[in-house]
Chains A and B, each alone.
Chain A
C-alpha cells in the first residue's frame, strides 16, 4: 500500500518535472539563426566571375594568399546590407581586406547598390545560384566570414554588422593573423 503511494507520488513528481522542463524550454528565446558548421574548415574550392566591371571576380585561391580577409555575402536586394554599408567602410578604413560575394544579383543592380552605398570590396564574385553561399554554410544575406591566410574559415557573423560588431570583427581578423 505504502509502496504504491510512493510510486504514485513519484509519477506525479516525474510529470511535474517534465512540464517544468517544457515551460522552461518554451520560455527560452528561440535562436532562429542557423550557424555554419564550416568554422575551422577550409573554404571549398570555387571560382566566381566578376560581378561588376571595376572589380575582379573571386576564387577560393584568392582566399588562401597569406592575408586574412573578411568575406561579405551580400546582395543589392537585401535591405540590411544597406544598413551595414557604413560599418563595412569603417572596417576597410581600419585596414581590413574585404572581398564580396553578390548573391542572385544582376550586374547593373550591384553597380547601382555600390554607387549608392560605397564599395569597400577588393574583389566581388557573382553567385547567381547561391552555390558558393551553400558550400560555406551561409543561410542568408548579409553574412560576414573571417577567413585566415590559409583559406580556413575562422568566424561567422550572421546579419548586418552593427556599430558594436566592428571592434569584434577586427579582433577576429587579428586572431586570424592580420
Chain B
C-alpha cells in the first residue's frame, strides 16, 4: 500500500479550493461593482441652500424640523424628509425652511404638499371622509367592552 495515498483526497480538496479562489474573487468584485453602479445615477448639483442648513432663528428651525419629521420622502417612502439624504428630500426641506422663514404656518405648508401629492405625503393622521372609521372604531370597541364589563359586574352583584 502506498503510504502517501491517504493524502490524496485532502490534496485534491486544496487544489480544488485554490483553483476557484480567483473566480470567487472575480465574482465578489463584480458584485461590489454592481452595488456601486446605481450611485452613478445621481445628479451632480450641490444640495438646495436650505437642504442641510438650519434656519438662523432656533424657534423657526424647531417649527420647520417638527414639520419635516411628519412629511414623507417621495423617493424613499418609508422615511420622513428629515431622515432622508435623497436629493429630492433635500429640495423638500428647502421648501419647508424657506416657507417657514417667509412666515408661512407649518399647517399651510402641509396643506400645500397634500394639495400636490395627496394625504400620502403627510404622516400626521388626518380625520377625513376615508379615515374616520379608524378613529371611530376604537371608541366603539371601548364602549362595547364597557357595556359587557358593566353587565358582568352587575350580574355578579345579584
Contacts and interface: CB of A to CB of B under 8 A. Distances in A.
A34 B120 CA distance: 8
Interface stretch (A74-82, A85-93, A161-169): A74-82
A2 B118 CA distance: 49
Contacts of A109: 44
Q: How large is the interface on A (under 10, 10 to 19, 20 to 34, 35 or more residues)?
A: 20 to 34
B117 A139 contact: yes
Q: Which of B45, B91, B116, B120 has the most CB of A within 10 A?
A: B116
A36 B121 CA distance: 11
A130 B74 CA distance: 12
A35 interface: yes
A9 B43 CA distance: 59
Contacts of B121: 34
Task: Determine the main DSSP class of A at the interface with B.
Answer: loop
A139 B75 contact: yes
Interface residues of B, number: 23
B5 interface: no
A109 B42 CA distance: 12
Interface in B56-98: 74-75, 77, 87-88, 91-92, 94-95
B115 A78 contact: no
B41 interface: yes
A77 B120 CA distance: 27
Interface of A: 32, 34-38, 75, 77-79, 103-106, 109, 128-131, 133-137, 139-140
Interface of B: 41-45, 48-49, 74-75, 77, 87-88, 91-92, 94-95, 114-118, 120-121
30 contacts: A32-B77, A34-B74, A34-B117, A34-B120, A37-B117, A38-B115, A38-B116, A75-B43, A77-B42, A77-B44, A78-B41, A103-B43, A104-B45, A104-B87, A105-B43, A106-B44, A106-B45, A128-B48, A129-B48, A129-B91, A130-B48, A130-B88, A130-B91, A131-B95, A133-B91, A134-B95, A134-B116, A137-B116, A137-B117, A139-B117
